[in-house]
Structures are given as structure tokens and as C-alpha cells.
Chains A and B, each alone.
Chain A
Amino acid sequence: MNLSRRDALAALAAAGVVGVAGATVLGDEGSADAAVPADTLATLVAVAEAVFPSEATGIEPFVETYVAGRVADDPAHREGVNAAAADLDATAHDWRDASLVDLDRSARDQLLRDLSVDVADPDPDGNLAAQVRFYLVNELLYAFYASPTGGRLVGIENPVGYPGGTESYQRASMEDEDG
């Protein structure tokens, strides 16, 4: 199950980021905007690898495209994402003596659960768990399950929030991905 740049753009559209199909957010080659620091992106990809289903592939470009678009015109959100990513990585150093990206998938999962991110209410102004849930985990889950590829894993190619047209609701089953 390979995530595509198109999935990231679909998720951006669902997240209210307009104009993403143009060049306002992404460079001509579709590269991520430099506004997101490399260490933030690395942390986000590490979190995505923990919270996405294990069969998801293509995570890194998907996350880069989505996050770059999400923060491009929203400095406050960008600051929140950067801070939550840095604080989470600092916690990994404190508790596990390693950077988040150097932990294996199950160790990242356990770190997030030890922080109570799984049961935290997402809140940009809350404690670290609430901020990680808001800026990192829910942002990534939203991007994933509002995209057609993420939806397909559950059985819906036109998930709520994704403008997937008015044909799919009439069909008895999912069409092939290319159909």
C-alpha cells in the first residue's frame, strides 16, 4: 500500500489548505518547502512509522508533502509542530537515551504510550502529550485516513473530507486503484 504525493495533496485539500495543486506550496519538482526543518520532518516521519499501519509505504515523501503544505501559510501551526517535535525528541533522549529516529518502531510506539499520547485529548495549549497528539499524531492520522489510499485500507476510497466525487457511493465495491 504505497502512499503517493497525490494522497498528500488530497489530505491537504481536506485540511483546508487551498491552492496546493499549484506551485504556491510545493516547488516545481514537488519537493517540500524548506520552511520545515529537517529534524522536524525526521521526527514526523518517525512518528508516522509508528502510528500508520505497518503495510503503509512511501511514508517519507507523503509526510514531507503534507506537512510542508500544512504549515506553509500558517506560521503559528509551523511553530507548534516544530516545538512538539523537538520536545518529543528531547523526551526520547531523556527517557530512552536516544533520538526518536534511532528507536525502532515498537520502541517509538511504547514511548508515545508511556507519554499517554494515546489517551490524551488533542490540545495545542495542553501538556506535552496533548500537544504531541494535536500537532503530530492527529495531524498524521488525519492526513492518512482522509486520503484515498488510507481510506482504501479500511474499505472506503472516498473518505469524508476528501472530494472524491459522486460515483463511488453508487458502487457496490471499491474500484481498482487505477480505475
Chain B
Amino acid sequence: MAEDRSPEPAADVCVVGAGPAGAIVAARLAEAGHDVVVLDAGPRFDLDDRTAQLDAHLRPGGEASGTPRGGGDAAGSLWGMGGPRDAYTSSGSKEYPLNAARVKGIGGSTLHWQGMVMRLHERDFELQSRHGVGVDWPIDYADLRPYYAEAERELGVAGAADNPFAPPREEPHPLPAFPPSHSDSIFAEACEALELPMHSVPNARNSEPYDDASACVGYGTCKPVCPSGAKYTAERHVARAEAAGARVIDRAPVQLLDHDASGERIEAAVYATPDGEEHRQAARAVVLACGGVENVRLLLLSASDAHPDGLANSSGLVGRYFVDHCFAGVGGRVDRPTRQNHVGFNTSECHALYDGEDPLQGVKLEFLNYAGPSPVIEALNADDWGDSLLDTLRESYGTHLAVGALVEQFPREENRITLDPSTTDDHGNPVPDVRWSVGPETRQAIERVNEVQRAILAELDAEVDWVVGPDETGPAFHHMGTTRMGTDPAESVVAPDCRAHDCDNLWIAGSSVFPTGGAMNPTLTIAALSCRLATRLDRWL
């Protein structure tokens, strides 16, 4: 029997997008007794397929055979990304591999994410006031602090209060941190000499069983797939929403948001279904939660006489100030075992450079637990076997180390998401065009970070064999800034409560509302804002 994808007759809330931003809102509102419908463009992925996906990932042609980071759009294929549905263009000075950077489907990009979840620092909310760059957020750390604690419980964060640079917190993480790795202990010698204190990484990954999910069992393939369920995915919140009565419709890409005659209220989300039909999901409120690129596209596709430049776009800023985090890294080999590639996540990082002025951009150093090749992947791609293959594997495995970093980009108006009318998707809609560049000030910051990373490896007498610097840098796949939050409707798209300035009943969830992006992985802040949004929308309803 075909799945029923017809609209719900009387919905309080229609959530567009079943990633973490939308799923948390949906779960909380459904549990508060509201009638919630969630629409997602992608499919529902079967949990029973995760080990087969792991297998596909490791074999030649899978993601693992690509480059260590980025990997181009082939990296999105494990979750069905690519093809006419996901067409896009990239017209900036830096190529943007959009389909490696996102997943459409129930769970969204948490299906393939790595799961690092740290709070923004206080300075991130006050960049303009403190340093005269970017823009201040209309809320500060204190406003978000209780929601960060809620978000850590929602995601089951494993962490410790051992980070001397972190903003103040009121309670322990819900789960104990993963202990440091052997390679962390090697780095600790160098970092102590360089006065770069190391501390634990907060992980959205179970160090103990939590929320009916297993503890991590060490498959080592967190990104792009966790077969054990220990890594948080937004499927957990979708399940909670459904248990509370929410309706979740997959393979239902929203084509536009339709408003009333005044243009001030959204009446319905118009969505397509696989049978070629279109439906209207009416709701009292709409929560847009499909990521920093598709949020923009949907607003622009919803242009009307009342909103000629796109919905909620009287400021002209929908799509502008697109920022990501830039990766910087140095890797090499030392003369002792480093024990890499046992797990696919990191256990130590360093925020010592984050709040300083050299560089002014926020910088988060990461000590990788997966530097260098994995023997099984190398074996499958080798043109040899037998004893000589074993010799090759022994030579290439065992002594690699790498220090990565995320480096902040300050928002620039010219980095933006627009529609490309010359290319259309499988429903005839213009595709998103990503215009992304890395400016001179970010390049300088990356160079400075490389100096620090080289110094760490030099302390260990490592032989450096790769550097990702300003020319090689790529995005960390964190899409931020394109529907920025602010108090002035001329300077922002959503108000501080995440409601669109131009529409009474349109709310936007996710990192597109971040006015600036800092250098912390954004998902904990996405989750905190969704907890906050759900509280406010509950009251509004």
C-alpha cells in the first residue's frame, strides 16, 4: 500500500525539514499537545541498512576512497544526495561541494555529521562591540545559556567541565566525556611546552547508553554513518515527535509557502509527492528548518506580489552573509606508534586561540584520532596483495598525527545564496547558487593557525607531510548566516525570537539565523535555539 502523504486537516504547526533544527521543535511542540506536521524533501532511511552503508562506505568507490576531508560531491552519495532533486551551482571564487555538505531526509545532516557539540563563546555574540567586526547578535550568551543546557540533554552530550576557555556552565554534561586517546597524550607534551592547554571534546555520542540508544562500540566510521546508533541523529527527535502524535511525511519537498491576501500570514506549505501530485498543508504557524541553503531557496521561490523579492525579504538580506568555517590542518609522522583510526571521533581539542586577537578570527584546534590511512581501506584500493601488501600496510599505518582547526569567517555581504534560473531541479524550480569565497583576512588567519600547528608537530620532531593552508582550505559544511537574526527589520530577516520580521506566523530554525558563526561546530547552538523557539512558539500558539 502506498504511504499516505496527504495533508493533515487541522495542523497547528507545519515544520519544513526533519533535521535537528526542525525535529527538536516538532518533538517539543507535539509533546506540548500541538498538532504538528513535518515535511521533508528526502526519504526515511532504514536503521537496518546502516551496516550495509558502512560496507559501501569502506569499499572502493565509496566515500572513504576519496580525499581525507571534503571528498567532493561523491561523498554525499551514501545518503542519496545528488541528481536532479539536489542540483545546484557554485559561482563563487571558491568551489562549494554542496551535496557533500548536507543530507536530505529524516534526520537531515545529522545522519552524516561527526557530532561535535560545543557552546559558542561569549565573544561570539559581541563581535562588533568588542572588535568592530561583523555584527552583534541581538541576544547574548546569558540568554542562550539555559537553552544550551537543555540542548545538551536533548542531544545526550558526553563532555567534561575541563575546558578553561569555555563559557560558564551551570551543570555537568549529561554523559561523561570520552577519555583522551593515546595520540592525545603524545600531543599533550608538545602543547604543554607551547602553552596550549588541551581539554575534552563535547560529543553528541553516547559514552554510556542514553536515550534508549547504545553506547559507542567503536566502528570508526562516525562520519558518514554510525551503525550502532550511539551517535545522535535527529531521527531520535522525529521518533519522539511521532510518539507524541506528530505526522511526519517524507519525500515531500516543499515548493513554496503560500500567504494570505495581506501577505502577512502564511496559509499553507505547498509540497510535492512522489506520485506527481501537489498538496497544501495549512497550519497556524510554519517553522522553516531546511538548512542555510534551502531555507533561502524556499523563501525566494515563494516570491509574490506582496513579497516581490521573496518571502520575508524586505531587508533584501535573505541569502546574504553566507558563512562557513574554514578547515586548516597540518599532518605528519613521528617515530612512535600513534594508534589512529580506532574510532572516528576526536577526544581532545584546544580553545586557547579562540578569544584572542592573533588572529582575531575564532580558532578551534582539533587533535585528530584518525590521521593517516586505515589499513582495510588501503588494502581494498591497493594494486597488490599477499605479503607485499602487508609490508605496504605496515609501512603506511601507525605513526601518523594531525592537528586540524576550524577558522572563523566574518560575514561578507557578497557571499550569498541566490536562485540560478538557468538550472532547474526535478520540479522545475531554479536551483540554489552558492557564492562562497575566502577573504584575505581569513587567509591570513589560516596562515597563522598553520604556524601554530607546525609548531606543535615540530615539538614532536614530526616529519610534516601535508598542510591545508589558505589555498587548500575548504568548508566544514556549516551553513550559517543567510537569514540573520536582529532587531532592525532593515538589517535582519528574523527577530530575536526567530520569527520573520515580515510574516506573523513564519519562524526560522537552524544556523541560517546566526548573525555570525564563530568557529564552533554549530549544531549545539542550533539545538539551543530550537529549544528556545519551541518555548516561544508554544506560548504564541
Contact = CB atoms under 8 A, between A and B. Distances in A.
Q: Report whether chain A binds chain B.
A: yes
Interface of A: 13-18, 50-54, 109, 112, 118-119, 121-122, 137-138, 141-142, 144-146, 151, 153-156, 158-166, 168-173
B386 A145 contact: no
A166 B385 contact: no
A162 B219 contact: yes
A160 B219 contact: yes
The 5 closest A-B pairs by CB, nearest first: A16-B52, A169-B342, A16-B51, A51-B385, A163-B217
Contact of B51 (A13, A122, A156, A171): A13
Given A151-B376, A166-B216, A161 B54 contact: yes
B220 interface: yes
Contacts of B347: 169
Interface in B337-368: 337, 339, 341-344, 347
Nearest to B341: A160
Contacts of B385: 50-52, 109, 112, 118, 137, 141
Contacts of A153: 390, 394
Contacts of A151: 375-376
Contacts of A144: 379
A51 B181 CA distance: 33
Interface on chain B toward A: helix, strand, loop, or mixed SS? loop
B182 interface: yes
Nearest to B396: A154
A121 B61 CA distance: 9
A158 B60 contact: no
25 contacts: A14-B55, A18-B48, A51-B386, A53-B386, A53-B387, A137-B385, A138-B380, A141-B389, A142-B58, A142-B376, A144-B379, A154-B398, A155-B394, A156-B341, A156-B342, A156-B375, A158-B218, A160-B341, A160-B377, A161-B54, A161-B221, A163-B217, A163-B228, A166-B215, A172-B185
Contacts of B51: 13-18
Interface in B166-192: 178-182, 185
Contact of A122 (B59, B64, B390): B59
A151 B55 CA distance: 17
Contacts of B61: 121-122
A135 to B, nearest CB: 12
B4 interface: no
A138 to B, nearest CB: 5
Contacts of A16: 49, 51-55, 227
A106 B369 CA distance: 38
Contact of B390 (A53, A112, A163, A171): A53
B55 A15 contact: yes
Interface on chain A toward B: helix, strand, loop, or mixed SS? loop
A13 B218 CA distance: 13
Contacts of A171: 182, 339
B393 interface: yes
Given A118-B383, A170-B179, A172-B339, A158 B375 contact: no
Contacts of B54: 14, 16, 161
B386 A169 contact: no
Contact of A154 (B58, B64, B384, B390): B390
Contacts of A54: 386-387
Contacts of B341: 156, 159-160
B375 to A, nearest CB: 4
A85 B323 CA distance: 53
**Interface-central residue, B60, B220, B376, by most chain A CB under 10 Å:** B376
Nearest to B184: A170
Given A151-B375, A168-B342, 13 more contacts: A13-B51, A16-B52, A18-B51, A50-B385, A53-B387, A53-B390, A142-B59, A154-B375, A160-B221, A163-B218, A169-B339, A169-B343, A172-B337
